[in-house]
């Protein structure tokens, strides 16, 4: 893994020859407080919202809602995010999902399948995102609620845009389903919590072809811990 120091040196060299480099030396644990004093805990800091959108797109493509992935003409799933997300970050995620996914609301929580971002670790040019998604093949719980399965994604950004490198599926119940957190479109944001401006170009919403989803019988028993 390249260190932030090495990335800075590389960026300086490449800038001298006219090559554009996307910076990425954030150290973050999301959501909530952490014992690591160096780690950011604000889920709105760039590139966290962008990585959430990439992760939602990846999982919804490979494990689509019962009605199909959709074409963006109407929403096919809702998403639930870590605590502390502001309106600007949620709107950015919705725009990157291009109409297929929308924020979870009291109105759609019972009608759309909900994909949950549970935790995220960002270490410079590497990130890990843990999610749970509806697993309709197993039906519903005794309380008529969806059964969810967990997945961990590893994302990376070297000299190319952020992308999903690999995934790990988990057995049902390994990653707990988080509580629903509503973010109103009228929410008032703190200027200090607003995400950095999104780059205008270079966003690749599709994972590389080399990423192959694991078969169900290859699921592990417990997720790996973030660094």
Q: Tell me: the pLDDT tens digits for 61-85?
A: 999 988 777 778 889 999 999 999 9
Q: Is the pLDDT of residue 188 over 50?
A: no
Entry pTM: 0.71
Q: Which helix (H) or strand (E) holds 93?
A: helix 87-97
Cα–Cα separations (whole angstroms), residue 122 to 91, 92, 134: 21, 19, 25
Which residue ranges make up each domain of the chain?
Answer: 24-218
CB neighbour class for 148 (10 Å; exposed up to 12, middle 13-18, buried from 19): buried
Q: Is the pLDDT of residue 2 over 50?
A: no
- Amino acid 19: pLDDT: 32
């Amino acid at each position: 893994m390249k260190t932030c120091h090495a990335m800075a040196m590389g960026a300086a060299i490449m800038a001298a020859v006219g090559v554009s480099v996307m910076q990425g030396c954030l150290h973050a644990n999301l959501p909530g407080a952490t014992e690591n004093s160096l780690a950011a805990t604000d889920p709105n800091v760039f590139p966290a919202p962008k990585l959430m959108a990439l992760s939602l797109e990846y999982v919804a493509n490979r494990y689509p809602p019962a009605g199909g992935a959709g074409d963006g003409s109407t929403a096919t799933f809702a998403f639930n995010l870590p605590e502390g997300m502001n309106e600007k970050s949620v709107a950015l995620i919705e725009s990157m999902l291009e109409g297929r996914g929308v924020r979870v609301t009291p109105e759609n929580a019972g009608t759309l399948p909900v994909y949950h971002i549970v935790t995220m670790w960002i270490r410079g040019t590497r990130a890990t995102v843990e999610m749970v998604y509806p697993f309709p093949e197993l039906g519903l719980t005794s309380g008529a609620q969806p059964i969810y399965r967990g997945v961990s994604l590893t994302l990376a950004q070297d000299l190319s845009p952020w992308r999903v490198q690999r995934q790990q599926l988990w057995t049902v119940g390994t990653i707990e389903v988080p509580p629903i957190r509503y973010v109103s479109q009228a929410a008032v944001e703190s200027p200090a919590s607003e995400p950095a401006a999104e780059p205008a170009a270079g966003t690749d919403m599709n994972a590389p072809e080399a990423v192959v989803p694991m078969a169900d019988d290859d699921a592990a028993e417990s997720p790996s811990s973030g660094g």
